[in-house]
Amino acid sequence: MRIKKILIFSLLTLAWILSACAPVETPDTTMPMSDNPMTLAPGREASADVTATPGSMMADNPGAAHMMEPITAPNVQPATETTGGQPLAYREEDGIKVFELTTKAVQWPILDGVTVTAYTYNGTVPGPMIRVTEGDQVKVIVKNELDVPTTIHWHGVEVPNAMDGVPGVTQDPIQPGETFTYEFIAKPAGTFMYHSHFEGDVQVGAGLYAPFIIDPKETEANPPVIDKVLMLSEVRMTDGETFAAMPMGGMEPNYFTINGKSFPATETITVKKGDLVRLRLIAIGQFIHPMHLHGMPFKIVATDGHPVPEAAQLTKDTISVAPGERYDIEFVATETGQWMLHCHILHHTTNDNVEPGGLMLMINVVE
Ligand SMILES: [Cu+2]
C-alpha cells in the first residue's frame, strides 16, 4: 500500500515536471497592431521571449513591421530651431509650473548636408529641457500632432503610477490630435529625462527624448561653473530615408549624435582654466557608449540622478553609458587646449563610416 502511494506520487511529480517543460503558448501575433496587446506592453519587454530574425519577425508578426519602416510623416517641414535640449519656458498657475509640449515631425539637420526625418517635442532633437526645483508642482500638457499615438514616460522621476506613461497599463495612448496632461511633484533632485513609451524602439530613436533636470531645494555647496546635458543617440540613414537604429541585422546606425548632432556639428564647450565642469551624460539610444575624456580625469558624482557619496566617487577617464543610464561627471579644467570627449567604440566616431564624426565633441579650455 505504501509503495503504491509512493508510485502514484512519483508519477504525479513526473507529470508536473513534464508540463512545466512544455513549450510556452506563444501570443496571437496575427492581430492588427492596434488590437495586439503585445504592442501596448511596457517597452517591448513583453515580447522579449518571442525570438526570431528580423525577416521572419515581419513575416510572422505583422505588428513588428513598424520596426523596419522608414520614419515618415505627411507634409513634414524643415525645423525652425537649430539647437535641441534648450530650457522650456513655463507659466505659473496657482503655484503650479505649467509646460506645453507638442509632438511633431520635422526635418532635423544632424550635420551639414545630412538631415533626418525626426519625431520631436516642440520641433527639436532632443526636445526642450524641463528644468525645475525639487518639490515643484509640475503640469505638462502634451498635444500629439504626429500621425501615430504616443505617450511620455518620466524616466527616473518618482511620479504617481497614473502619470508613468505606459500605454495600455497606466493610460491610453495619446491618439493623433489628442491632448493629455501629466501632473506630478518633481522629485528627487537629479538628472532625468522624458521620452516616448509608445513603440519606444522606433519613437525614441526617431527623436522623442529630452532632458528633465530637477535642481536640489538647497543650493549646492560647490556648484559647477559649466553644467551641460549630453544626450547620446543613434540613427540610420539609407538612400535619403531615416530609420530608428536598432541592434539588429540591417538596422545598425550609421550616424551617432550628441544632443541631436554628429561631429563636427556637435557643440564645442568653452570653459575657463580652473572652472569646475559638470557633464550630465545620458544614453537614450539602443547602444552602449564608453565616453572617454582626453587630458583630465573626472569623478562620477551622480548615477541615474542620485548623488554618489564623496568617499565612493570613482576617478575615471572613460565611462560606459548604457541605454537609459545617466552619469553626472565632474572635473576641474586644469590645462588649456582643445580636449576631446568621444565614444571609445571607435565606429561610433564616424559619419556613415567616415572618420571623424559621430560621438565627439571638443572641450576648449582657455585662460
Ligand atoms: Cu559609442
Q: Tell me how far the alpha carbon of residue 340 lies from the centroid of ligand 1, in angstroms.
A: 14
Residue 339 has pLDDT above 90, yes or no: yes
Answer yes or no: is 38 within a domain: no
Rounded to the nearest whole angstrom, what is the distance from the C-alpha of residue 321 to the centroid of ligand 1?
A: 9
State whether 158 and 258 are in the same domain: no
- Using the structure block, give the residue that is written with the C-alpha cell 565614444: 343
Q: Is 40 part of a structural domain of the chain?
A: no
Judge if 203 and 253 occupy the same domain. Answer: no
pLDDT for 8 equals 52
- Cα(246) to centroid(ligand 1), Å: 13
pLDDT, tens only, 236-282? 999 999 999 999 888 999 999 999 999 999 999 999 999 999 999 99
Task: Report how far ligand 1's centroid is from the alpha carbon of 322 (Å).
Answer: 9
Q: Partners of 237 in the beta sheet?
A: 242
Distance from residue 307's CA to the centre of ligand 1 (Å): 25
pLDDT of 5 = 55
CA of 289 to the centre of ligand 1 (A): 3
State whether 192 and 231 are in the same domain. no
Q: How far is the CA of 361 from the centre of ligand 1 (A)?
A: 13
Q: How far is the CA of 170 from the centre of ligand 1 (A)?
A: 33
Q: Point out the domain boundary residue: 146, 180, 215.
A: 215
Query: Is residue 362 in a domain?
Result: yes
- Compute the distance from residue 291 Cα to the ligand 1 centre, in Å: 7
Q: What are 82's three cell numbers?
A: 537649430
The predicted model scores a pTM of 0.84
pLDDT higher than 50, residue 178: yes
Distance 72 CA to ligand 1 centre (A): 26
Which domain CATH number covers 158?
Answer: 2.60.40.420
Q: Nearest 5°: phi and psi at 6?
A: -65, -40
**Structural domain contains residue 288:** yes
User: Based on the structure, what is the number of domains in the chain?
Assistant: 2
Q: Give percent helix, percent strand, percent coil of the chain, each to the nearest 5.
A: 15, 40, 45
Cβ-contact 208, 244 below 8 angstroms: no
- Using the mean position of ligand 1's atoms as its centre, give its distance from the Cα of residue 41 in Å: 28
| Residue 284, in any domain of the structure | yes
Residue 140 · residue 179 · CB < 8 Å: no
pLDDT in tens, 286-297: 999 999 999 999
Domain hosting residue 350, numbered range: 226-366
Q: Which residues of 278-291 are buried (b: 16+ CB within 10 A; e: fewer)?
A: bbbbbbbbbbbbeb
Does residue 317 belong to any structural domain of this protein? yes
Instruction: State the distance from the centre of ligand 1 to the C-alpha of 317, rounded, in angstroms.
Output: 15
Please give the helix or strand (H or E) that residue 5 lies within, else none.
helix 2-21
